[in-house]
Amino acid sequence: MDEGEEHELGGAWGVGAFENPRALKWVAALVGGGTPDNVRATLRSIVDGEPPSLETCMEAFAAAEIIAIALGRASGEVPVEARTWAKTHDDSWTATDVRLAVRAVKRIAADSELKDFWDEVDDTSEWNSEADDLASRLSRLVDSH
């Protein structure tokens, strides 16, 4: 991470999917003209390939949460524009998409720069709980889809 990114990532941070600047920028781009394929591509970037970067993980957590929101499993604070976009695309998601989101969240929680970040601060257990909750909410959707 370069010095500018460290400065950007300081400040308003929380364990939730939308509680960091990078996720909020990703959501802004999504609501500005993105499609469900953009959500899928973000999640695929986690499960296909090299260990995911901090930034990619933050975007993928938001992407997974978008699917959960669209399918009625939102949790915590959700930006209005994210909720609106998700509800507009609520019929776009298949069981395959939900399984992809679960895999992405579990990979991030197991081995990623985002996990490493939270391991270095005092909120490790809170972040782990958030990741587990998101994976669990999504997993329950697989059975219903």
Q: Is residue 126 included in any domain, yes or no?
A: yes
For residue 1, being part of any structural domain is answered with no
For 50-62, write each residue's pLDDT tens digit. Answer: 888 999 999 999 9
Residues spanned by the domain of 123: 21-144
- Asked whether 67 and 101 are in contact (CB, 8 A), the reply is yes
Classify residue 71: in a domain, yes or no.
yes
Identify whether 27 is part of a domain: yes
**What is d(CA 74, CA 132) in angstroms, rounded to the nearest whole number?**
14
Question: CA neighbours within 13 Å on the CB side: how many for 140?
Answer: 10
Q: What angle do CA 18, 136, 38 make, to 5 degrees?
A: 45
Read off the pLDDT of residues 13-65 as tens digits, 9 standing for 90 and up: 788 999 999 999 999 999 999 999 999 999 999 998 788 899 999 999 999 99
Instruction: Write down the pTM of the prediction.
Output: 0.88
5: in domain: no
How many structural domains does the chain have? 1
| Domain annotation covers residue 3 | no
Tell whether 108 is covered by a domain.
yes
